[in-house]
Amino acid sequence: MTTVEQDVTLGRIVGTPVERKEDTALLTGQAVFVDDMSLPGMVWMAIVRSPYAHARITSVDVTPALAHRGVIAAFSGAELADEWQMSLPCAWLPTEDTKQPNHRPLVVDKARYVGDGVAVVVAETRGEARDAAELVHADYEPLPAVVDPEQALKDGAPLVHDEFGTNHCYTWTLSAGEVDEEFANAGVTIKERYRQQRLIPNAIEPRGVLVQPFPATGELTMWSATQVPHIARVTLSMVTGVPEAKLRVVAPDVGGGFGSKLNVYAEEALALVLARRLGRPIKWIETRSEGYQATTHGRDQIQEIELAATSEGNIRAVRARLTVGLGAYLQLVTAGTPLLGAWLYGGVYDIAAYDFECTGVFTTTTPTDAYRGAGRPEATYAIERAVDALARKLGKDPVELRRLNFIRGFPKTIASGLTIDSGDYDAHLDAALELLDYDELRKEQAGRRGRGDTKELGIGFSTYLEMCGLAPSRILGAIRYGAGGWDAATIRFLPTGTVQVLIGTSPHGQSHETTISQIVADQLGVDYDEVEVLHGDTAVAPLGMDTYGSRSLTVGGLAVYHAAERILAKARKIAAHQLEVGENDLEYDGGTFSANGSSLTTKELALQAWTAHNLPDGMEPGLEATYVFDPENFSWPAGTHIAVVEVDTETGAVDLIRYVAVDDVGKVINPNVVDGQIHGGATQGIAQALWEEAVYDEDGNLVTGSMVNYLVPSAAELPSFELGRTETPSPTNPLGVKGVGETGTIAATAAVMNAVVDALTPRGVTDIEMPATPERVWRAIEEVER
Amino acid sequence: MRRVSITVNGAEHVLELEPRELLVYVLRERLGLTGTNVGCDTSSCGACTVLLDGESVKSCTVLGVQADGCEITTIEGLATNGSLHAVQEAFRAEHGLQCGYCTPGFVMATVGLLRETPKPSEDEIRHALEGNLCRCTGYHNIVRAVQAAAAEV
């Protein structure tokens, strides 16, 4: 592992809670989301979707729709089949023999989930397009559905893709050390089985797309509610045959993503080819209920985890086996998403041997893909629940058992093979216990138990480790991901002294304009308000890999940092030339180069670079620099989250009464932004534990088909958060940063479920399936009492 | 079609509306006031919250024709003479928004809440905002913002 020198000069604005640049527009209704845009001549698209989970399509007749008022065009899947140069993109086929179905934007032969597109209608207005879509006549021959990944693997299960002769998509393994030997010699072993229920991401802005064609030149501009304008441009060019150089993709203001907009969707491809075909701007906006079917889901895994430990509780080996419901098709990173957790089933524990196997399975359901944390919340859940199970078996306190096994001494290469650069797990555990007042709470818990209180108290821990900052390109190549993990930035110091920063990451709530401005202002010695961050438009910032996997600071922010260093290096050369001193004689501080009592500011040097009247021989005019940063290692945030719940044993109701989180995300650029990410991330993790579940019936109907019956929590369900922070700067980047976007979600689910089980341990309950609804909790109590 | 007169952010509009047109689309598509957002189709998320005669309502649950003769305030009408309303200021100061899509709804719901209950407790705030969903903030800073605004108003 290569370590780099930390830049300790930043700290004027970096590290302070400056108010966000994004807020004024968002607070006054001036933000521009896709649905806020319209263009002259614009028409609307609506998709006809299969009402069956699995059905052969015998005919599709669009003529009744064509007769409807305002309708301009309507096509079946077969009628558009020639438009597609390839399948909708899947960037990650984890094994050589991974089965990749041909995923057309509209199906031709059969529908494979409720919501699979079978036809498209274009009309003058939103209402006309939707009304006419209802008139398209499609005949279906229903086939049996299969919604459960384990059922789908059984002989005789209905085949989602007949051509493969199986629903098995791939099996990926990772093994290190003498696992069998460790299990054979173990003083104690445990084996647990957990279900990661399917989740619906629920960004509050639904997806939407608007495409403007320029028929004279063949250019097309697409505005999309996406996290990945750059990836969309590359892949949609390949899908539609629009030359990449003629395709501009813009992510305008985007209202949340959480992984659900880390994708390239059928509707984007359809809007592009129809705009090209019809020569008119085309707009499509998802309804929420439509999105529940047509936008990727998350999780859907069966996990089996085994621990081998000494009788004192030293964990020696971990075995993990996953069976993952991929849904009907492979979207962008469907197959690889569970593998983002593949290295983490050993958690923060110093183990000797490791064995991981993941099998991906097709089912007749909406495809799963990345959802906040993507693979890592699942890994954390399994190991953190299993460590609690081990503690129960050994009669040890869960805190004590964790401490006994913590990884210490960094950098540390863990059993699964990656190297953790830094951390101090005792520090955040200690800080969290102090915030919590652990001993006092255990006393209260015992007191309630002693007096037979029907409301039990439960305390649950999650000492998590995250692998983020996606990702070193060489490692991505080694695990068969189809692109690199670098990111890019261009900094342009304008002649009048303001600075443009073009970034390749694409925010949708993460505050990039604010935090990137903080870094650049400190480095170049300009005011925070003199920095303008531009993003999300392939015509403005053509190079980039977009926003997901907590990478925008740890990869994109480092590209910005290094670009600014290049600006300073050039400015130093000009200053040395004009002040007639050696470059090394110049002191640099807060935007000013000085030597022997004379000085030049970066702003003055920007003007000098622009006029180019007096530059060193051979120097290019202008003060602009680009840097493409490819990280050498992942980054490794970690922390301790503790949930305190009250469980009403008479009704099964779980009340989350406290939530303590102490995170080590390395250096902090803006504490408000970091805290906000943790609040929101933890809330999504808590919601998986207690409320959220996408349910399919056996016919493949999405029973939780709208926000009415899928419980996205409101303020009323949640407590205030109690946060603390410890800091071990990452030694692998000069900013010392580690990433924070997913930590809360990764940590929270295990903490809450461990708390629920902890509350009911004296009653003999050792597991409850998620979400821990009152019914499930009540039944679990009843079952052991019987 | 039915002729209605609706006052929005102080300006009167006489409009010919289809009976099925929802108030939110009247605001967004007829009047170009796109600050009011649509986040669902089941009146669950509250992104479209506006004030109707001073009371917060989900504008996706009100027909345009029902607003005949009413006064509507949207997020665009809240700031006065270029200065943000105390509730907007509080959301900014407390980092009560991230992606900002639900924010106009939360701000309007908060203005409505503080009109009825000027000094709400934390519990009252959390229950009063039950009809508005945010996926970014975990509500922690939204609650802080409402408290800060209540202290200010």
Eight-class DSSP state of A555:
I
Q: What is the pLDDT of residue A605?
A: 98
- End residue of a domain, out of B77, B105, B132: B77
Eight-class DSSP state of A19:
P
Q: In this predicted model, what pLDDT tens digit does every residue of A427-465 receive, in sequence order?
A: 999 999 999 999 999 999 999 999 999 999 999 999 999
- End residue of a domain, out of B77, B110, B130: B77
What H or E segment, with its residue span, contains residue A413? strand A412-413
Determine the residue of chain B that is closest to A508 in CA distance: B99
In CATH, the number for domain A298-470+633-785 is 3.30.365.10
| Alpha-carbon separation of residue A125 from A59, A68, A345, B21 (angstroms) | 27, 12, 51, 13
Distance of residue A128 Cα from the nearest chain B Cα, in angstroms: 13
Assign A299 a pLDDT band (cuts: 50, 70, 90): very high
Q: What is the pLDDT of residue B153?
A: 77
Based on the domain organization, do B108 and B147 belong to the same domain? yes
Question: Is the CB of B60 inside 8 Å of chain A's CB atoms?
Answer: no
Q: Where are the domains of chain A?
A: 23-31+486-629, 34-143+206-254+261-294, 298-470+633-785
Q: What is the pLDDT of residue A128?
A: 97
Domain that holds residue B65: 2-77
Q: How many CB atoms lie within 10 A of CB A597?
A: 6
Average pLDDT on B123-138 reads 98
Based on the domain organization, do B63 and B102 belong to the same domain? no
Based on the domain organization, do B25 and B61 belong to the same domain? yes
Eight-class DSSP state of A157:
P
Do the Cβ atoms of B95 and A676 come within 8 Å?
A: yes
Cα gap A317→A345, rounded to integer Å? 10
Distance of residue A340 Cα from the nearest chain B Cα, in angstroms: 22
Average pLDDT on A78-83 reads 98
Based on the domain organization, do B56 and B111 belong to the same domain? no
| Alpha-carbon separation of residue A345 from A174, A385, A386, A629 (angstroms) | 11, 11, 10, 29
Confidence check: pLDDT of A786 > 90:
no
| Residues near A597 by beta carbon (within 8 Å), at least 6 away in sequence | none
Residue with the two structure tokens 């303008």: A532
Option in B76, B102, B127 nearest A29 (CB): B76
Based on the domain organization, do B46 and B7 belong to the same domain? yes
In CATH, the number for domain A34-143+206-254+261-294 is 3.90.1170.50
DSSP string, B20-49: T-BHHHIIIIIS--TTS----SSS-S-TTE
Distance of residue A737 Cα from the nearest chain B Cα, in angstroms: 20
Average pLDDT on A336-348 reads 98
Distance of residue B100 Cα from the nearest chain A Cα, in angstroms: 5
Same topology, domains A23-31+486-629 and A298-470+633-785? Answer is yes
| Residues near A175 by beta carbon (within 8 Å), at least 6 away in sequence | A354, A355, A356
Assign A470 a pLDDT band (cuts: 50, 70, 90): very high
Which among A26, A200, A210 is the top mutation candidate for probing chain B, defined by the most B β-carbons within 10 Å of its own β-carbon?
Answer: A26
pTM reported for the whole predicted model? 0.98
- End residue of a domain, out of B77, B103, B128: B77
Confidence check: pLDDT of B82 > 90:
no
Average pLDDT on A344-361 reads 98
Based on the domain organization, do B114 and B141 belong to the same domain? yes
| Alpha-carbon separation of residue A724 from A372, A423, A503 (angstroms) | 22, 16, 31
Confidence check: pLDDT of B120 > 80:
yes
Cα gap A249→A253, rounded to integer Å? 13
Distance of residue B69 Cα from the nearest chain A Cα, in angstroms: 24
Among residues B106, B151, B99, the alpha carbon closest in space to that of A741 is found at B99
Determine the residue of chain A that is closest to B80 in CA distance: A28
* Residues of chain B contacting A714 with CB distance shorter than 8 Å: 126, 129-133, 139
Architecture of domain A23-31+486-629: 2-Layer Sandwich (3.30)
Q: How many CB atoms lie within 10 A of CB A318?
A: 27
- The percentage of chain A sitting over the pLDDT mark of 90, rounded to a whole number, equals 99
Do the Cβ atoms of A509 and B136 come within 8 Å?
A: yes
The total number of structural domains in chain B stands at 2
Option in A205, A509, A720 nearest B140 (CB): A720
Do the Cβ atoms of B45 and A288 come within 8 Å?
A: yes
Do the Cβ atoms of B102 and A26 come within 8 Å?
A: no
Give the mean pLDDT of chain A.
98
Q: What is the pLDDT of residue A2?
A: 87
Cite the beta strand spans of A161-314 per DSSP E.
Answer: 168-176, 188-199, 208-214, 219-224, 247-250, 282-285, 298-309
Confidence check: pLDDT of A41 > 90:
yes
Based on the domain organization, do B103 and B73 belong to the same domain? no
Which A-chain residues 492-531 have CB contacts (< 8 A) with chain B? 508-511
Do the Cβ atoms of A673 and B95 come within 8 Å?
A: yes
Q: How many CB atoms lie within 10 A of CB B49?
A: 30
Structure tokens belonging to residue A732: 């692998």
Q: What is the pLDDT of residue A300?
A: 98
Average pLDDT on A117-124 reads 98
Assign A785 a pLDDT band (cuts: 50, 70, 90): confident
Distance of residue A17 Cα from the nearest chain B Cα, in angstroms: 10
Q: What is the pLDDT of residue A158?
A: 98
Based on the domain organization, do B8 and B49 belong to the same domain? yes
Average pLDDT on A23-28 reads 98
Confidence check: pLDDT of A168 > 80:
yes
Based on the domain organization, do B129 and B95 belong to the same domain? yes
Assign A399 a pLDDT band (cuts: 50, 70, 90): very high
Distance of residue B117 Cα from the nearest chain A Cα, in angstroms: 17
Assign B81 a pLDDT band (cuts: 50, 70, 90): confident
Q: How many helices (H) and strands (E) does chain A have?
A: 20, 28
Among residues B118, B142, B144, B119, the alpha carbon closest in space to that of B130 is found at B142
Based on the domain organization, do B46 and B18 belong to the same domain? yes
Based on the domain organization, do B100 and B126 belong to the same domain? yes
ipTM of the complex as predicted: 0.99
Q: What is the pLDDT of residue A543?
A: 96
- A411: preceding bond cis by omega (within 30 degrees): yes
Average pLDDT on A572-586 reads 98
Which A-chain residues 223-282 have CB contacts (< 8 A) with chain B? 253-256, 258
Confidence check: pLDDT of B63 > 90:
yes
Q: What is the strand order of the sheet B71-73 is part of? A: B11-17, B2-8, B71-73, B49-52, B55-58
Option in A253, A676, A714 nearest B130 (CB): A714
- The percentage of chain A sitting over the pLDDT mark of 70, rounded to a whole number, equals 100
Assign B5 a pLDDT band (cuts: 50, 70, 90): very high
CATH number where B46 lies: 3.10.20.30
Based on the domain organization, do B68 and B92 belong to the same domain? no
* Residues of chain A contacting B134 with CB distance shorter than 8 Å: 204
Assign A127 a pLDDT band (cuts: 50, 70, 90): very high
Do the Cβ atoms of B44 and A24 come within 8 Å?
A: no
Option in A254, A672, A718 nearest B99 (CB): A254
Confidence check: pLDDT of A571 > 80:
yes
Q: What is the pLDDT of residue A145?
A: 98
